[in-house]
Chain A
Amino acid sequence: MPVPILRQADLLVATIQASLSDQDLVRFRDDLAREIGRARSTGVVIDVTALDVLDSFASRVLRTIAHTARLRGATTVVVGIQPGVALAMVQLGVSLEGIPTALDFEDGIALLRGRRRKKAHEEGAHGG
């Protein structure tokens, strides 16, 4: 089952379902790369609240998704990593290096908007 990618203003939002297969995850990676172009989005929120396990494979795919998005000009924030999942990731030794995370969807949006404001402010200060 494909992961629905929704537009929220200029951001993209995707909620990963618990029953996601490896194949679905890989397909999501490709769908997102395309959708960033269609929507000209500069930010993506991936909500993994429903994932009860984030193993090394899933973590690797998330990293690939975020890096692919970055090459297309978009920042990805992963939100909703559950406490047990976070601990398991630490003990397993997997990291979401370079990928910002936030507690939940709301914080993820705020993080992306804050970054945009900061960037616009810096550009305004230099080029204005």
Chain B
Amino acid sequence: MAADIVVPIEHEQDIVMARQQGRQLVAEMGFSSTEQTLVATAISEVARNILMYARHGEIVLTALQSENRRGIEVVARDEGPGIANPALALTDGYSTSGRLGLGLPGARRLMDELDLATVPGEGTTVTLRKWAP
């Protein structure tokens, strides 16, 4: 398995870097152009969350291999304020920043799997996975 790609997120241009790296990773796996865009868009959303709420963090991209399936894992990690009500954050329509809660539920729809781990005052880790069809 290839090594992880770690993209520090501190400035908005890092968001572009993260999604370009993600696109390239899944392109090499044979994801279609449309699937690549879905992955890049999901990365853009979670990377932007890091900037908006935690100001800095990192995106870790990993190529996955399971049985005869290939996929990508995107981990968006920060040591920011955390999410007080994770269940609510995963519900459409909820947001504290006026984004109408399109972040996490949207990212989940773009990918196949989403896991949210968060501790208020300590940080947040969002894990997304998408498998080649």
Which A-B residue pairs are the 10 nearest by beta carbons?
A84-B37, A84-B34, A92-B106, A88-B41, A55-B44, A91-B109, A22-B12, A56-B102, A53-B40, A93-B106
A residues with a Cβ closer than 8 A to B are: 19, 21-23, 52-57, 60, 82-85, 87-88, 91-94
With contacts A92-B102, A93-B105, A94-B102 taken as known, whether A53 is within 8 angstroms of B37 at the C-beta atoms is yes
Interface residues on chain B, number (Cβ under 8 Å): 25
Q: How far is the CA of A91 from the CA of B13 in the complex (A)?
A: 24
B48 touches A (CB below 8 Å): yes
With contacts A53-B40, A56-B99 taken as known, whether A21 is within 8 angstroms of B109 at the C-beta atoms is no
B residues with a Cβ closer than 8 A to A are: 12-13, 16, 19, 23, 33-38, 40-41, 44-45, 48, 92, 99, 102-103, 105-107, 109-110
Pick the residue among A21, A52, A88 that contacts B110 (CB under 8 A).
Answer: A88
Shortest Cβ gap from B47 to chain A (Å): 9
| Interchain residue pairs with CB less than 8 A apart (14) | A55-B44, A56-B103, A60-B99, A83-B33, A84-B34, A84-B35, A84-B36, A84-B38, A88-B38, A91-B109, A92-B45, A93-B92, A93-B106, A93-B109
Pick the residue among B12, B19, B37, B107 that contacts A85 (CB under 8 A).
Answer: B37
Inter-chain contact total with CB atoms closer than 8 Å: 64
With contacts A84-B33, A88-B38, A88-B41 taken as known, whether A56 is within 8 angstroms of B13 at the C-beta atoms is no
Q: A55-B44, A93-B105 are in contact. List 14 more A-B contacts (CB 8 A).
A: A22-B12, A53-B37, A56-B48, A56-B99, A83-B34, A84-B34, A85-B41, A88-B37, A91-B38, A91-B109, A91-B110, A92-B107, A92-B109, A93-B92
Q: How far is the CA of A88 from the CA of B35 in the complex (A)?
A: 9
- Find chain A residues with CB under 8 A from B99 CB: 56, 60
CB-CB nearest in chain A for B111: A91
Q: How far is the CA of A61 from the CA of B110 in the complex (A)?
A: 21
Q: How far is the CA of A58 from the CA of B24 in the complex (A)?
A: 21
CB-CB nearest in chain B for A58: B44
- Find chain B residues with CB under 8 A from A19 CB: 16
- Find chain A residues with CB under 8 A from B105 CB: 93
Tell me if A23 and B37 are in contact (CB < 8 A).
no
CB-CB nearest in chain A for B44: A55
